[in-house]
Amino acid sequence: MTSPKSSQPSSTARHASLVGAGILLSRLIGLVRQRVFSHYFGLYDAADAFNAAFRIPNFLQNLFGEGVLSASFIPVYARLLAEGDEEEAGRVAGAVGSILALASAALVAAGMLATPWLIDAIAPGFHGAKRELTIRIVRVLFPGAGLLSLSAWCLGILNSHRKFFLSYTAPVAWNLAMIAALVLFRRQPADALAVTLAWGSVAGSALQFGVQLPVVLRLARGLRASLDTRAPQVREVLRNFGPVFFSRGVVQISGWVDSLLASLLGTGAVAGLTNAQTLYLLPVSLFGMSVSAAELPAMSSALGGADEVAAHLRRRLDSGLRQIAFFVVPSAMAFLALGGVITAVLFQSGRFTAANSRYVWAILAGSAVGLLAQTMGRLYSSAYYALRDTRTPLRFAIVRVVLTTGLGYLCAIPLPHWIGVDPRWGVAGLTASAGVAGWVEFTLLRRELNRRIGRTGLPGPLVTRLWLAAAVAAAAAWGVKAALGPDHPLKFGLTVIAAYGVVYLAAVWLLRVEECAALVRRLKLR
């Protein structure tokens, strides 16, 4: 039997690096896709329609996708692998995959039929041709969402076998298919191009699933399609699935509220929110998801007494939190201080103007408020899932959504009127209020877990040094920006961002932040 102590943090760091590398590649291609999209659509009606439409089938993907399967399936499957029972693990994987495919197919069919009512629920501010275009796009996108759910099942199996790089680079195929659709059919009118892009998304979803499936079939021995739920491990997955499904559903309500309120704020608000979220999710995915995804199988595979497991979880949490904060603190500072530069570098082209960049910067600055809380909260949720507790994160997710809804409405709708600004800027208040709610959820998650396993968290001196280094780097970047003066956004922006990164790394090195020295050692080894 393997004890928790046998799993070393260095192994997890290596796995987290693989996840991070895969996510980085996927996200970079995603940024290229978003830049091409912004070039052809700007922040106009067709862009709003596509981005609002994409949220509806994406809701299905998120419900049945990676988050739910990570919490319900991976702990059970990884434990069977740790115990050496690969045949039973394969049977469980086959049953879970079959049930997931059946449920996804049923919801896809229902969603396509109910699309007009879904549009009224998620984008009540859309009318006339804009609403009809959104309906057409949603009906095309729905089947692709079902395929992406099955892709997440593949990811669960691959992660449990520590095959992280493939699972997180598979979305590259999806992004490339969408880029190809935009480039090949770029001469179409904007509305027609939006529908074509939706078909490109469906083709990309099939490719993303297809590139993972051969490896899954090779790794999961005894895998076969089955709807048999008599095995206790399958029943455990289904029991876990329910609370996590509702937890993810509750969290998705927050996204639905954001889209609904943004649709009431005028042309470009929904598209601007999507552009900001594309940037905001980059550090969440690279640093929060990579560490959490690498830790979950390791936490779930730990065997031994309660005290040993608790000590093991504390060590992993504290190490993971330090890794996350080292990268996310400067990301949040960059979004606050340099968001306009970053947005211009990535999106300012064609129909996406300098004014659009400033608008997205405001939304991005609001998102930065809760960036650290969301990334660290992912790791705490993984610890709960490793302990087979899916209900506690659900309770705290409900608190977060209630706060997001109330604060979001106040900051997005009445607040701009009270302070005398254009209602379009209410989207920035929307993202900032979500950040506040994220901090409340994170605090609740940490307090309850500390009560169970002992004290965890970031040391105060480390947090102070990281924010100090980020502030110094931001000041230096502003100095470079002022010295260069106006220039082409790409060349100008890359210079400013490079200066920020170099000064941050120099500052954390001088402040003797341990993670900086560890990063340098890993780079030297490679």
Digit-coded pLDDT (tens) for 111-150? 888 888 888 877 788 888 999 999 999 999 988 888 888 8
Contacts 24+ apart (CB under 8 A), 198-202: 198/50, 198/53, 198/137, 198/140, 198/141, 199/140, 201/54, 201/140, 201/141, 201/144, 201/174, 201/177, 202/140, 202/141, 202/143, 202/144, 202/147
> What is the distance between the alpha carbons of residues 164 and 34, in angstroms, rounded to a whole number?
25
- E strands, 90-132, in order: none
What per-residue confidence (pLDDT) applies to 490? 65
**Main-chain phi, psi angles of 436, to 5 degrees:** -60, -45
> What is the distance between the alpha carbons of residues 478 and 337, in angstroms, rounded to a whole number?
8
Question: Sign of the C-alpha dihedral, residues 434, 20, 98, 302?
Answer: negative
User: Max CA-CA distance within the chain?
Assistant: 69
H-assigned helices in 185-305:
190-219, 232-263, 269-283, 290-301
Closest listed residue to residue 148, CA positions, set 190, 188, 108: 108
What per-residue confidence (pLDDT) applies to 51? 86
- Amino acid letter at 367? S
CB neighbourhood size of 501 (10 A): 13
Closest listed residue to residue 23, CA positions, set 76, 68, 59, 66: 66
Query: Radius of gyration over alpha carbons of the chain, in Å?
Result: 23
Q: pTM for the whole thing?
A: 0.70
Which segments in the chain show pLDDT lower than 70? 1-20, 57-71, 242-253, 290, 293-305, 485-490, 522-526
**What's the per-residue H, E or C state across 402-448?**
HHHHHHHHHHHCHHHHHHCCCHHHHHHHHHHHHHHHHHHHHHHHHHH
Query: 3-class DSSP state for residue 166?
Result: helix
Cα(first)–Cα(last) distance of the chain, in Å?
33
For residue 188, give both structure tokens. 């179409």
What per-residue confidence (pLDDT) applies to 3? 40
Question: Sign of the C-alpha dihedral, residues 250, 309, 373, 323?
Answer: negative
For residue 62, give both structure tokens. 């998120």
H or E element: which one contains 61?
helix 45-64
What per-residue confidence (pLDDT) applies to 62? 64
* 306-347 and 514-525 helices, crossing angle to 10°: 80
Asked whether 435 and 367 are in contact (CB, 8 A), the reply is: yes
Question: Sign of the C-alpha dihedral, residues 467, 472, 475, 479?
Answer: negative
> What is the distance between the alpha carbons of residues 473 and 497, in angstroms, rounded to a whole number?
10
Quick one: DSSP state of residue 305? -
What per-residue confidence (pLDDT) applies to 66? 56
What per-residue confidence (pLDDT) applies to 180? 95
Domain boundaries, the chain: 18-458, 459-526
> What is the distance between the alpha carbons of residues 264 and 323, in angstroms, rounded to a whole number?
39
CB neighbourhood size of 514 (10 A): 11
SS3 of the chain: helix, strand, coil, percent, to 5 = 85, 0, 15
Quick one: DSSP state of residue 163? -
Query: 3-class DSSP state for residue 282?
Result: helix
* 128-160 and 86-113 helices, crossing angle to 10°: 180
Q: Give the number of residues written for the chain.
A: 526
> What is the distance between the alpha carbons of residues 376 and 17, in angstroms, rounded to a whole number?
17
